[in-house]
Amino acid sequence: MTNAVEDPSEFRERARTFVREHLETVVAADQVGILRNQRSDEEELAAVARDREIQRLLFDARLAGICVPEAYGGQGLSPAYQRILNEELTGHEFPERLQSPTFAPCLSVLLEFGSEEQKQRHIPAMLKGEEIWMQFLSEPSGGSDVAGALTTAVRDGDEWILNGSKVWTTGAWWSDWGLCLARTNWDVPKHRGLSVFMLPIDREGVEVHRIEMLNGSKEFCQEFLSDVRIPDSDRIGEVDDGWTVGTRWMFHERMGMNSPLTTIPHGTTHAGAGNLSMISIARDAGRIDDDRAVDLIGEAQTLSLANQALRRRLAEGIASGTMSDQSSAIGRLFAGRTAARSGTIGIDLAGAGGAAWTPDDGALVEVGLDFLMRQVTCIGGGTTEMAANVVSERVLGMPRELTMDRDVAFRDVPRSPSAS
Amino acid sequence: MTNAVEDPSEFRERARTFVREHLETVVAADQVGILRNQRSDEEELAAVARDREIQRLLFDARLAGICVPEAYGGQGLSPAYQRILNEELTGHEFPERLQSPTFAPCLSVLLEFGSEEQKQRHIPAMLKGEEIWMQFLSEPSGGSDVAGALTTAVRDGDEWILNGSKVWTTGAWWSDWGLCLARTNWDVPKHRGLSVFMLPIDREGVEVHRIEMLNGSKEFCQEFLSDVRIPDSDRIGEVDDGWTVGTRWMFHERMGMNSPLTTIPHGTTHAGAGNLSMISIARDAGRIDDDRAVDLIGEAQTLSLANQALRRRLAEGIASGTMSDQSSAIGRLFAGRTAARSGTIGIDLAGAGGAAWTPDDGALVEVGLDFLMRQVTCIGGGTTEMAANVVSERVLGMPRELTMDRDVAFRDVPRSPSAS
Amino acid sequence: MLLQLDADLEMFRDTTERFLGEFASVEEIRRLRDHDAGFDPDYWRRGAELGWVSLLVDEAHGGGSVSGNRLVDLSVLAHEFGRRAAPGPLITTNIVASALSAHDADPELLAQLLCGESVATWAHAEGATPGAFDDLTLDITLDGQSLVLNGQKRPVESARVASHFLVTGLAVGGPSQVLVPVDCPGVSVTPMEGVDLTRRFSVVTFDDVSVPVSSAVGELGGARAAIDRQLEYALIMANAEAVGAMQTGFDMTLEWALDRYSFGRPLASYQAIKHRFADMATWLETAHALSDEATAAAGAGSPDADELLSAAKAFIGDYGAELLQECVQFHGGIGLTFEHDLHLSLRRHTVDRALFGTPADHRRRLAEISIEREAAS
Amino acid sequence: MLLQLDADLEMFRDTTERFLGEFASVEEIRRLRDHDAGFDPDYWRRGAELGWVSLLVDEAHGGGSVSGNRLVDLSVLAHEFGRRAAPGPLITTNIVASALSAHDADPELLAQLLCGESVATWAHAEGATPGAFDDLTLDITLDGQSLVLNGQKRPVESARVASHFLVTGLAVGGPSQVLVPVDCPGVSVTPMEGVDLTRRFSVVTFDDVSVPVSSAVGELGGARAAIDRQLEYALIMANAEAVGAMQTGFDMTLEWALDRYSFGRPLASYQAIKHRFADMATWLETAHALSDEATAAAGAGSPDADELLSAAKAFIGDYGAELLQECVQFHGGIGLTFEHDLHLSLRRHTVDRALFGTPADHRRRLAEISIEREAAS
């Protein structure tokens, strides 16, 4: 199918019309706080349903998968069009829960490594909002070492039998599919014994357990896989070659909301409480006239602008090839550092309100809990320590860290004393 | 000699009388800035002479070497007496240049490892102000790896012939003796081929070169040793066993002004500009009424009090045996961190005065240069990185860092590409 | 905490530690999250029997010091509370008990506090604004033989289970303290949410609350020194608690780093992590040192006690927070879950950091003292 | 600096880089430390021939942009200056030239500035106090056909070699700019000491200095916008210079860490050092990004230009200082010696950090803009 490419201004007009007709406006103040436990399960399920609905509307309006090939239900347009859509979405609702991880990294991985049949089967379904995907990647024992997966897949004729546990999936309880990294060979070094599978979350043997975070959020899940059987046709990439997929998977994950496959209203920040709320905190704490509070507000605003500018520079550099793909770790590292700092600025502005508050305290509410959750941005999606390794070794070319698991069969790799 | 020990209050009275009779008062403002180049060479030499003179007066008044055994000219008293002397010296001149490194670590090392003849020959001379000692320890190639010394001592009958270079000696151009670490064996691992020597700085073949620091200070020197001959009787400790001496030497160096062998007026800070000058900087910069400046002053004062409290806790812990000797590295690390932070607080308070000033600008003068020199406290006397290694490995028991030089003959240790 | 304790104090510490180990386990603390008061009356009564409320009370009133230095005793006790994130109105009840004892007021209530039958709380802070930890605006008007209170106090700990509030405010032109029974007409208590699982706070509003003049604790208008002294106690306890929380977080995380393997090596073998532990160790030792020096200075009535208390509060608040957040970081995601124990330390530290003046408030106080002294010299 | 330059701009950059490599070598900069002006007139004349003073001048006056975006040109030029810690009154002469061109003032002087025969300087800042980078107190009184100036300016760059001062002050109730020849009676120049080896500053005092009314540059009392614009130029240049200094320090130190061995391993193989380099790399990229975004926003007349310029000034000032101090730390003692090159970058960065508003001043400006906008919304 080779259509004449739509003119950007026509596209913008079309996007604008769609947004006006179909989408509610939202206020920025909705986006404060860190993983706050603001919705009941019923509300969350309703929000998921609304996300699916919007995604379907986008799909029907030819505004889904802007940079996804037309062959798989996308629009086959350039990232510039995605930016236009993002700009037009500013201030409006959007199908937030589908962006990450469904479109990036899952759809990206599928596009890159899936068979034609797999792509046809899943990508249009994703773009229609019918399939929400999760990453079955991290494991309780694993920490930063995702390639050290202990979840095991054993071949049984045309099927694989999976056993193990995955953790830190966001909302697996209302999702459909998992992209799953599993060990298929224990007798080779760790990177050479992995394979990647697609896994329907409702399959027999998958038990989803919701994790309670310290602030009461139950967004994350842990899955226990017990003799889960899946067909070999749901394997992505070659057997034991899962790390080839995994490396790109990791890259797409680091790209996160900077991926051209994700839709995100321009100006949305995802690095914890934004600066507007810092001003509100200072005001509601009665500190807005204090020079030091003003300094902290200025610092938060500096870091927020710095994050945005850095993100744009890295995206441009990687897109133009003047920077390596690995440079995305620079953005990840900086975003973590600044989110942590912002958490401290918030509680500093809150004063005694950081310890206790009433529901009438406006912006002071739950600032203390946000502070307790401060490190989440330095941990989730690969720790800042891993990012610092990538930056120093892959971007700056400093010597690689010594690992004890490189040239040894995975079953012989040293493990925690308490893990045995 | 076993005298009845003097009563503390008598001792205090005696010290007070001495101080009143012999010593000038000094104002705290004299003690600001980092390695500032405030004196001409003539003035510096006069100050050295005055230091020697005061030391002699102390010696004659039985106030030198409070914790040094009487057999070597000291007073054989407990650290409590040293504290009393320090308190009585508050606000007065004292023989600053003899404390470090002459008394700690040099005299300490001599006390611990010197032969009876060596102690008799040098310790009384030190206590009388006749011998000022330097550490010939660091080398230009060495960085933090002092045990990687390249300066070589080759035996020639009853003598040793030294060749190499030492650096970062403070005021070697007006000093008398150097305590020198040299390699006596290249065919064994590095720690097993070192020996320690005493070296008269005016010996033939020793060339002292003064290093200019970026702020114009010429306090530090580098020495070039060319076929310097010294008798074997000036060796301290066994041949090739110099690291046994070196380990304790390093400990005494880390103790620095906390050593009971040093005399330092109570309240003297050596961690860069103190808090009083922060207030002066803020005032002279017109910022004293700014909440943020007040916050910075409070921070500087917090860090200053924190440093003092930590120093006392460590001294007590090490003295009582509840902490290991290695814990002194905790104090060293923290002092470095806080000195660096203080440098930044200083220039932040100075505002535009940090870039340029006139001689009439009071406390603003040279704050900018102090900032340029900020890291000196994190580098001199062993870097903060080395201290962090000691704390994590020796105090906390975390695994040792991999080194490539442990079980290999020193001549085969990998070296910088540019060093060959 | 001090490097060495004398034998009596060590026994007191050890008894408290073992008691808390049994009755304030992490499971118990998690359970108490849904408890109205945040602690069981029986737990508190048994703790009081161990001497938890007696340290600042004169012997004549049934109290007494363990080691001879009551402030050192107090800091050792608070440190144990911090290590366990223990439940119970330790700080606030001790302050009220000290005030009653110092002013020979309400011996009946004091006796009840001492044996843990009642709880009373200090209604002092007036909000989140800078300086609010020691500024007063609550109005106390002398009206014949009555005192009439108008104003608001927040946060007030354990307000919903206390029998009395010791309220600070301004009367006859100066700082004053008044003991107010919780059931006085005009008193209203609004519960707050907060970060600690067991420590409960409220907003307490006084709307024309009338009590007899005899309810004044100490001199009307002349209570500045008493209030400052009580604030000293609060700072000593908050600092020691916070250091205890730091110690527990640090110990737990060091153990984790030594045990946890990543890429076939213990976490603790990575130099980037080792160096951060080294910094954490310096913060922890410094926190102990400052807390103990400030306690000693306050105990000795030293002129630099205020400076040291503020320096300790500022340092422990800021560096302790960084330390505990580093602990979270090294644990990874599990350190942010409710089922892990680490957040109990982080919560307790966060509360102690925010109460009785934030780090910034205390840097300001410290700076103002320094500037004043420099100007005077 | 931008990731990609168009061909003309790259040629301009490359020419400047090669010229500075030859005539502003580290040896030359060390030599100039004892030079009265801090730069040789001939060096400046040849630099002017390369276009160093023409970028903000209209084509009609003999100036012109290289790439079509003069502010981008300017930032590229300043970045090269920063990389080399190059001598010469770049910032201040360009600002005066821009003002003369914008207001069609003193074409003769402008021509001399353009060809590098003369140097002029902007006498704007009024001291070290907060806000002094854009507050004005210098008094300009209209007295018949004369303007009489009273006040003090500091620091003023190159005051001792400039032929004219462009002085900002208050006249007829508003911000104004006046061109004052240096030899006017009542002008006195007191040299300052400073951290940069080649950039010289002075205190300039105006004591009843009288100049003709025609010396006003732009409208008397109505120069706020012009001054703001000039401040924008200053911030763009100071930011780009500072980032250049960061880049040089970083590159030098990475090379050192890869080459230097400690304990038989390259410094660069130690994870604690690697992780700090990773942070430095994030600061460096962010500094480039902010500097370039702010320049682009100013060039496009975007409403968020002020915010971005202030964010860039604050970020580059603080994080750049930490970056360069980390570079010193990794070098060890040698990094603090005069014979090493590292301090040239550190000095230049330190000057740029302190001038035209410190990081704290710009955080304040940024916060005030945000608070105002939030209040308006």
Determine phi and psi for A195, rounding to 5 degrees: -140, 160
Q: pLDDT tens digits, residue range C323-348?
A: 999 999 999 999 999 999 999 999 99
* Sign of the CA dihedral with A121 first, then A123, A128, and A133 last: positive
**Are residues A357 and A371 in contact, defined by beta-carbon separation less than 8 angstroms?**
no
**Are residues C217 and C103 in contact, defined by beta-carbon separation less than 8 angstroms?**
yes
pLDDT of residue C155: 95
pLDDT of residue B268: 66
Strand-pair partners of C165: C121, C180
The closest alpha carbon to D348, from D83, D157, D97, D163, belongs to: D83
Residue ranges of B 165-184 with Cβ closer than 8 A to chain D:
167-168
Q: pLDDT tens digits, residue range A30-80?
A: 445 677 777 889 999 999 999 999 999 999 999 999 999 999 999 999 999
Does a structural domain hold residue C170? yes
Question: Which segments of chain B belong to CATH 1.20.140.10?
Answer: 269-395
The closest alpha carbon to A127, from A110, A102, A93, belongs to: A102
- Is the preceding omega at residue A105 within 30 degrees of 0, hence cis? yes
Which chain D residues are closer than 8 Å to A299 by Cβ?
A: 314, 363
Q: What is the CATH number of domain B135-250?
A: 2.40.110.10
Interface B–D counts its CB contacts (< 8 A) at: 169
Ranking A72-86, D123-137, D182-196 by mean pLDDT, the lowest is D123-137
Distance (Å, rounded) from C-alpha A68 to C-alpha B210?
68
pLDDT-derived band at A323 (thresholds 50, 70, 90) equals: very high
Write the residue in B211, B384, B416 that is nearest to D261 by C-beta: B416
CA distances from residue B180 to B138, B185, B189 in whole angstroms, order as listed: 9, 15, 19
**Contacts of C246 by beta carbon, 8 Å cutoff, 6+ apart:** C82, C283, C284, C287, C316, C320, C323, C324, C345, C349
Angle at B185 (CA atoms; ends B181, B186), nearest 5 degrees: 105
Does a structural domain hold residue D1? no
Q: Measure C273 CA to nearest chain D CA, in Å.
A: 7
Name the percent of chain C lying above pLDDT 70: 99
Whether residue D268 is found in the same domain as residue D372: yes
Q: From start to end of A171-289, where are the E strands? A: 177-183, 194-200, 206-210, 220-231, 235-236
Whether residue C256 is found in the same domain as residue C361: yes
Residue B3 has pLDDT above 60, yes or no: no
Question: Any CB–CB contact under 8 A between A189 and chain C?
Answer: no
**Contacts of C32 by beta carbon, 8 Å cutoff, 6+ apart:** C38, C39, C40, C87, C197, C198
pLDDT-derived band at D132 (thresholds 50, 70, 90) equals: low
Question: Percentages helix, strand, coil for chain D, rounded to the nearest 5?
Answer: 55, 15, 30
Which residue of chain A has the CA closest to D266?
A: A399
Whether residue C108 is found in the same domain as residue C251: no
Question: Which segments of chain B belong to CATH 2.40.110.10?
Answer: 135-250
Which chain B residues are closer than 8 Å to A294 by Cβ?
A: 292
Decide which of A300 and C128 is more confident: A300
Which uninterrupted H or E stretch holds B136?
strand B133-136
Strand-pair partners of D202: D156, D191
Residue B273 has pLDDT above 80, yes or no: no
Query: How many CA atoms lie less than 13 Å away from B369 in the CB half-sphere?
Result: 22
pTM for the model:
0.94
How many Cβ atoms from other residues are within 10 Å of residue B109's Cβ?
A: 26
Token pair recorded at residue A106: 């899952």
**What does pLDDT average to over chain C?**
96
Angle at D357 (CA atoms; ends D356, D358), nearest 5 degrees: 130
DSSP character for A105? I
Collapsed DSSP state (helix, strand, coil) of residue B335: helix
Q: Looking at the 3D structure of chain C, how many domains does it have?
A: 3
Residue A271 has pLDDT above 50, yes or no: no
Question: Any CB–CB contact under 8 A between B420 and chain D?
Answer: no
Show which of C185, C215, C245 is a domain's final residue: C215
**Are residues B357 and D192 in contact, defined by beta-carbon separation less than 8 angstroms?**
yes
**Contacts of C341 by beta carbon, 8 Å cutoff, 6+ apart:** C26, C252
Which residue of chain B has the CA closest to C251?
A: B396
Residue D86 has pLDDT above 70, yes or no: yes
Which residue of chain D has the CA closest to B147?
A: D263
Decide which of C104 and A146 is more confident: C104
pLDDT of residue B266: 83
Whether residue D205 is found in the same domain as residue D228: no
Does a structural domain hold residue C1? no
Which residue of chain B has the CA closest to A293?
A: B292
Whether residue D195 is found in the same domain as residue D133: yes
Question: Any CB–CB contact under 8 A between C137 and chain A?
Answer: no
Interface probe for B, chosen from D134, D252, D255, D262 (most Cβ of B below 10 Å), is D262
Whether residue D180 is found in the same domain as residue D268: no
Q: Which CATH architecture has domain B269-395?
A: Up-down Bundle (1.20)
Q: pLDDT tens digits, residue range C136-192?
A: 999 999 999 999 999 999 999 999 999 999 999 999 989 999 999 999 999 999 999
D226-257 b/e (C-beta count within 10 Å ≥ 16 → b): bbebbbbbbbbbbbbbbbbbbbbbbebbbebb
Does a structural domain hold residue D304? yes
Name the percent of chain B lying above pLDDT 70: 95
Q: Measure D269 CA to nearest chain A CA, in Å.
A: 5
pLDDT of residue A274: 52
Q: Are the beta carbons of B306 and C315 separated by less than 8 Å?
A: yes
Whether residue D252 is found in the same domain as residue D372: yes
Which chain D residues are closer than 8 Å to C271 by Cβ?
A: 270-272
**Are residues B150 and B164 in contact, defined by beta-carbon separation less than 8 angstroms?**
yes
> ipTM beyond 0.85?
yes
pLDDT of residue A28: 56
Interface probe for C, chosen from B277, B283, B289, B299 (most Cβ of C below 10 Å), is B299
Whether residue C163 is found in the same domain as residue C33: no
Write the residue in A351, A373, A405 that is nearest to C130 by C-beta: A351
Which uninterrupted H or E stretch holds A57?
helix A41-60
Ranking A233-242, A282-291, D173-182 by mean pLDDT, the lowest is A282-291
Which residue of chain B has the CA closest to A295?
A: B292
pLDDT of residue C84: 97
Whether residue C83 is found in the same domain as residue C142: no
Q: Are the beta carbons of C353 and A415 separated by less than 8 Å?
A: no
Dihedral angle of Cα B291, B296, B299, B304, to the nearest 10 degrees: -130
Whether residue C113 is found in the same domain as residue C141: no
Distance (Å, rounded) from C-alpha D85 to C-alpha D346?
9
Token pair recorded at residue D368: 């005030």
Q: pLDDT tens digits, residue range A129-182?
A: 999 999 999 998 877 788 899 999 999 999 999 999 999 998 899 999 999 999
Token pair recorded at residue A209: 């357990």
User: Averaged over B83-102, what is the pLDDT?
Assistant: 93
Strand-pair partners of A208: A223
Decide which of C329 and B270 is more confident: C329
Whether residue C172 is found in the same domain as residue C230: no
Decide which of D336 and B250 is more confident: D336
Question: Any CB–CB contact under 8 A between B391 and chain C?
Answer: yes
Write the residue in C286, C292, C366 that is nearest to B298 by C-beta: C366
Which chain D residues are closer than 8 Å to B385 by Cβ?
A: 270, 272-273, 329
pLDDT of residue A272: 38
Write the residue in B167, B348, B379 that is nearest to D358 by C-beta: B348
Distance (Å, rounded) from C-alpha C167 to C-alpha C178?
5
Distance (Å, rounded) from C-alpha A340 to C-alpha D279?
14
Does a structural domain hold residue C295? yes
Pairing state between β C120-123 and C164-171? parallel
**Are residues D47 and D12 in contact, defined by beta-carbon separation less than 8 angstroms?**
no
Structural domain of residue C76, as residue ranges? 7-118
Which chain A residues are closer than 8 Å to B299 by Cβ?
A: none
**Are residues B134 and B170 in contact, defined by beta-carbon separation less than 8 angstroms?**
yes
Does a structural domain hold residue C193? yes
The closest alpha carbon to C273, from B82, B266, A401, belongs to: A401
Q: pLDDT tens digits, residue range C3-62?
A: 889 999 999 999 999 999 999 999 999 999 999 999 999 999 999 999 999 999 999 999
Distance (Å, rounded) from C-alpha C230 to C-alpha A159?
72
For the ranges A325-329, B257-261, C78-82, the maximum mean pLDDT occurs at C78-82
**Contacts of B33 by beta carbon, 8 Å cutoff, 6+ apart:** B272, B273, B366, B369, B370
Distance (Å, rounded) from C-alpha B174 to C-alpha B165?
18
pLDDT of residue B7: 94
Decide which of B380 and D168 is more confident: D168
Which chain A residues are closer than 8 Å to C201 by Cβ?
A: 355-356
Q: Measure D277 CA to nearest chain C CA, in Å.
A: 11
- Output the domain CATH number for residue D40: 1.10.540.10
pLDDT of residue C152: 96
Angle at D259 (CA atoms; ends B225, D339), nearest 5 degrees: 55
**What does pLDDT average to over chain A?**
91
Q: Are the beta carbons of C354 and A355 separated by less than 8 Å?
A: yes
Does a structural domain hold residue C2? no
pLDDT-derived band at A1 (thresholds 50, 70, 90) equals: very low
Show which of D94, D118, D142 is a domain's final residue: D118
Residues in chain D, overall count:
377
Residue whose entry in the numeric block shows the structure tokens 């240069």? B369
Whether residue C298 is found in the same domain as residue C370: yes
CA distances from residue B136 to B166, B177, B415 in whole angstroms, order as listed: 6, 9, 22
Q: Measure C214 CA to nearest chain A CA, in Å.
A: 32
Task: Identify the CATH homologous superfamily for domain A3-97+112-130.
Answer: Acyl-CoA dehydrogenase/oxidase, N-terminal domain (1.10.540.10)
Residue A337 has pLDDT above 80, yes or no: yes
Residue whose entry in the numeric block shows the structure tokens 């035996």? B155
Does a structural domain hold residue C126? yes
Residue A380 has pLDDT above 90, yes or no: no
Question: Which segments of chain A belong to CATH 1.10.540.10?
Answer: 3-97+112-130
